[in-house]
């Protein structure tokens, strides 16, 4: 079972749900096997390296990806996100996408059931990100033109790549202080489940 997820009041009409605020510690996490996971550079270890990103901000970004595998995307604090998600303004949102399309390598099948409503989150946020990194899973699958047209109409540049490269690029741009967001599909299909209000059912008269 998943913990109850809190919705940001201004984002209720969207298909994304707020998973957590990165300023608070979440206890709902599990570790990835170090053998199966692909590790990424994060600013936590930048000063221990022989090379330093000169454009990086002194303050580490609120969200950074540590590794990615079939089990999900692991953040720098150890939290594992097994399904589709959006990184935006230092927060992580659950992303409601068609489950059956995640593993397909065929363009027409991968984007079946998708519409502009999948990106409603970016219509209501202010300020909007300059760049949206769309991670399409294990392999790069170009989206249909209407997605790029819709986001460009919002003033957002869409960069499409596989999810591994999208995570790595997000880390780099976030360190540089860019207004960047990421919309990431997992390596394997995963369906987010809505939490049920068991407490309300047990109330008298319910």
CATH assignment at residue 69: 3.40.1230.10
The rounded percent of the chain whose pLDDT value lies above 90 is 52
Q: Is residue 120 part of a domain?
A: yes
Q: Is residue 156 part of a domain?
A: yes
Assign 3-class secondary structure to 147-195.
HHHHHHHCCCEEEEECHHHHHHHHHHHHHCCCCEEEEECCCCCCCCCCC
Query: Which pLDDT belongs to residue 15?
Result: 43
Average pLDDT of the segment spanning 23-47: 42
Q: Is residue 203 part of a domain?
A: no
Q: Is residue 89 part of a domain?
A: yes
174 lies in which domain range? 9-35+55-192
CA dist., res. 52 & res. 111, Å (int) = 38
Q: Is residue 198 part of a domain?
A: no
Beta bridge partners of 18: 93
Query: pLDDT band for position 170 (50/70/90)?
Result: very high
Query: pLDDT band for position 179 (50/70/90)?
Result: very high
Q: Is residue 129 part of a domain?
A: yes
pTM over the 0.95 mark: no
Query: Which pLDDT belongs to residue 59?
Result: 64
Q: Is residue 113 part of a domain?
A: yes
| Residue count of the chain | 206
Number of domains forming the structure of the chain = 1
Q: Is residue 43 part of a domain?
A: no
Contact of 102 with 185, CB cutoff 8 Å:
yes
Segment 69-96, tens digit of pLDDT:
999 999 999 999 999 999 999 999 999 8
């Amino acid at each position: 079972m998943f913990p109850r997820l809190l919705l940001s009041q201004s984002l209720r009409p969207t298909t994304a749900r707020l998973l957590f605020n990165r300023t608070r510690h979440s206890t709902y996490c599990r570790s990835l096997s170090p053998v199966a996971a692909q590790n990424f550079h994060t600013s936590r270890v930048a000063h221990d390296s022989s090379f330093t990103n000169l454009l990086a901000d002194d303050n580490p970004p609120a969200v950074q990806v540590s590794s990615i595998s079939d089990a999900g995307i692991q953040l720098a604090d150890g939290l594992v996100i097994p399904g589709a998600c959006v990184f935006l303004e230092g927060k992580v949102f659950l992303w409601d996408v068609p489950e059956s399309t995640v593993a397909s390598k065929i363009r027409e099948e991968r984007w079946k059931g998708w519409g502009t409503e999948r990106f409603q989150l970016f219509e209501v946020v202010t300020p909007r990100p300059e760049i949206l990194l769309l991670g399409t899973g294990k392999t790069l699958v170009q989206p249909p033109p209407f997605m790029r047209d819709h986001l460009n109409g919002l003033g957002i540049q869409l960069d499409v790549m596989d999810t591994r490269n999208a995570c790595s690029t997000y880390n780099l741009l976030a360190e540089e202080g860019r207004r960047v967001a990421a919309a990431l599909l997992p390596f394997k299909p995963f369906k987010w489940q809505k939490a049920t209000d068991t407490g309300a059912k047990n109330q008298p008269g319910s």
